[in-house]
Amino acid sequence: MNAIEIHDLHKGFEGFFLKNISFSVPQGTVMGFVGENGAGKSTTIKCMLNLLKKEYGEILLFGKDHVEHELSIKNDIGVVFDDLHVPETLNATQLDKIMSKVFQTWDSGYYFERLAQFKVPKRKKIKELSRGMRMKLSIALALAHHPKLLILDEPTSGLDPIIRDEILDLFLAFMQDETHSILFSSHITSDLEKIADYITLIHNGEILLSESKDALLYEYGIFKGNSEEVNDLPKHAILRTRPGTFGIEALVLKKEVNEAFRLERPSIEDIMLFFVKGSV
Amino acid sequence: MVGLILKDLMTIQRQMKAQAFVLVFLLVMAIFMQQSSMLLAIIVFIVTIQAITALSYDEQSKWDKYANTLPISKADIVFSKYILSVMLMIIGLVMALPILFFINFFTNNETEFFLTFNLIVTLALCSLAVLLPIYIKFGSIKGRIVLIALCFIPGFLTGMFKEYIPDMPQTFLYLKQYVYLTPFGGLLLLCLSSLVSTAIYKRKEF
């Protein structure tokens, strides 16, 4: 079963459109959702959560329509935005009391364990917490009702590497249960390399690719050479090219290229740059 | 719903504490001036208006973006603000009444008390019925501007149709006998207002 399935999603604003967005997140996997700022990641996520109304298209979460079954779906998801959107005069203990009235499955014990693990002060007002602390609190809030799906919209942006690593470990622990899934939007591609099973790349409101991370990293290669050398590559093997430091760099399908060509292993960042800035 | 009301009460708790000092000051003033209705009006309005404060805090923190990811219906999110404001008004009245009886006991102007009480409650309910949809639709900054604009409308209309309005004191005397009905009218208006607010909120995007 797919935890998330999106078919043909369209949403338009003045000067920006989401066009034909289609991808799915199989249950038990982590989908990295990458793209530059303004590419449409947050808009897609907001459409999924019905914070924005889609123009047309189909969005299924756990196989159910996201509007028709909105409340039952929202019982099973945890959402983390790039900031904690709760009134700043509240503190973590008050949030526990509030959330225990919102979710039937709210687990105060688990919530306070996470706060202790992250050293988040229980009685300090949110406005007095650092950005890192706010994000940790936000993640504890998203996890404490034991959701099946986490939807994370840039949860690690603006955080230092130590905190990011701690947070990624927590997500990996969440994935120990094979019925759990994560949609992780980020432009910090190194985070996704650590945690994602699949990568979906969005650019200018369109999906450029949606594939398994291993397929991307092991089936694609980067060839660096001058224009003549690049011309020797089989045409059908070249996915994208871009100007490099010493000539031209080409993203190629490894298995279509003779072993005589020395290929480098790409990172997700390389692939993103080839697809966004390279030419066909 | 309970969670939402609890959240609002916790959010405005501090604000209420700060305003308690103002209330104590007003209480002393009201006792000296023997003005029980002034005290009642101020207490009811200060307490009731806290629902608007809660809305401003929500707006500042983009709470609605988060609340709409939780298993809470949009109607409940709106309705909780109405229940909160009526709850606060009742709390305000419960707080104010013993003091009022105390003042009235010494001043003996009970005859007008019932009239004033009804009018104040009605006015508070009507203000909420107008304020809440405006704040939900426009947010606290634009809402304030719309509100100021709205304040001029009654004056403007009165000026325009002065000749058609019957003799004011006479009309008031006639209406006075129905004053006990006005809080129910206010409540009805508040119910209608909640339907309008829900319709507005359901069309909003976050």
Subunit contact B205:A52, Cβ cutoff 8 A: yes
Nearest CA in chain B to A72: B71
Quick one: which of B28, A49, A112 has its CA closest to A59?
Answer: A49
pLDDT at A21: 93
Q: Are residues A194 and A238 in the same domain?
A: no
Nearest residue of A to residue B14, measured between CA atoms: A89
For residue A245, give both structure tokens.
């430091």
- A181 within 8 A of A148, measured Cβ to Cβ: yes
Q: Do A191 and A271 share a structural domain?
A: no
Mean pLDDT of A100-126: 93
The A residues from 213 to 242 touching B (CB cutoff 8 Å) are none
Digit-coded pLDDT (tens) for B50-85: 888 888 899 999 999 999 999 999 999 999 999 999
- For the stretch A184-204, pLDDT in tens is 998 888 888 889 999 999 999
Domain count for chain B, please give it. Answer: 1
Cβ atoms A236, A256 nearer than 8 A: yes
- The answer on A179 and A78 residing in a single domain is yes
Q: Is B75 part of the contact surface with chain A (CB cutoff 8 Å)? A: no
Domain end among A211, A234, A269: A211
Tell me the chain A residues in contact with residue B206 when contact means C-beta distances shorter than 8 Å: 46, 51-52
Interchain contact B204–A (C-beta under 8 A): no
Which span out of A77-81, B32-36, B114-118, B180-184 was modeled with the highest average pLDDT?
A77-81
A194 and A262 both lie in a single domain: no
Interface contact A67, partner B, CB < 8 A: no
Nearest residue in A to B66, CA atom: A85
Average pLDDT for A271-278: 84
Please list every residue in chain B whose beta carbon sits closer than 8 Å to the beta carbon of residue A74: 69-72
Number of Cβ within a 10 Å radius of residue B9: 18
Would you say A230 and A241 are in contact if contact means Cβ atoms under 8 Å apart? yes
pLDDT tens for B77-98 read: 999 999 999 998 888 888 778 8
How far B10 CA lies from chain A's nearest CA (Å)? Answer: 7
Same domain, A232 and A161: no
ipTM: 0.88
Q: Is residue A117 domain-shared with residue A191, that is, in the same domain?
A: yes
CB contact under 8 A, A98 and B6: yes
Residues A141 and A6 in one domain: yes
Residues A20 and A148 in one domain: yes
Assess B137–A contact: CB distance below 8 Å, yes or no: no
What is the pLDDT at residue A243?
84
Report the residue of chain A nearest B58, measured CA to CA. A87
pLDDT range class, residue B166, cuts 50, 70, 90: low
CATH number at residue A154: 3.40.50.300
**Tokens representing B194?**
């909640």
Instruction: For residue A17, give its domain range.
Output: 2-211
Specify whether the CB–CB gap between A52 and A46 falls below 8 A. yes
Per-residue pLDDT band for B13 (boundaries 50, 70, 90) equals confident
Average pLDDT, chain B: 82
Q: Which residue of B has its CA nearest to A152?
A: B69
Q: Which of A71, A83, A90 is opposite residue B10, by nearest beta carbon?
A: A90
Report the alpha-carbon distance of residue A140 to residue A137 in Å, rounded. 5
Q: Which residue matches tokens 């942006």? A: A157
| Whether residue A63 has pLDDT greater than 90 | yes
* Partners of A72 in beta bridges: none
Residues A68 and A35 in one domain: yes
Give the nearest partner residue to A101 out of B2, B61, B205, using CB atoms. Answer: B2
Flag whether residue A173 sits within 8 Å of chain B, measured between CB atoms.
no
Q: Which domain holds residue B39?
A: 2-203
For an interface test with B, give the residue of A86, A91, A104 to mutate (most B CBs within 10 A). A86
Looking at residue B128, its amino acid is: L
CB atoms within 10 A of CB A63: 12
Among A211, A238, A265, which residue terminates a domain? A211
A-chain residues near B50 (CB < 8 A): none
Q: For residue B19, give how far its alpha carbon lies from the nearest alpha carbon of chain A (Å).
A: 16
Are A141 and A245 members of one domain?
no
pLDDT at B110 over 60: no
> What's the domain count of chain A?
2
What percentage of residues in chain B have a pLDDT greater than 90? 25
Q: Tell whether B71 lies on the interface with A, counting CB pairs under 8 A.
A: yes
Question: By the CB < 8 Å criterion, does B73 face chain A?
Answer: yes
DSSP per-residue codes, chain B: -HHHHHHHHHHHHHHHHHHHHHHHHHHHHHHHHT-HHHHHHHHHHHHHTHHHHHHHHHHHHTHHHHHTTSS--HHHHHHHHHHHHHHHHHHHHHHHHHHHHHHHHHH--GGGHHHHHHHHHHHHHHHHHHHHHHHHHHHHHHHHHHHHHHHHHHHHHHHHTGGGS--HHHHHHHHHTTGGGHHHHHHHHHHHHHHHHHHHHHH---
CA distance A135 to A157: 10
Q: Has residue B155 got a pLDDT over 80? A: no
Answer whether B68 sits within 8 Å of A72, measured CB to CB: no
State the count of interchain CB pairs (< 8 A) between A and B.
Answer: 77
Judgement on whether residues A63 and A181 belong to the same structural domain of the protein: yes
Residues A148 and A176 in one domain: yes
On whether any CB of chain A is under 8 Å from the CB of B163, the answer is: no
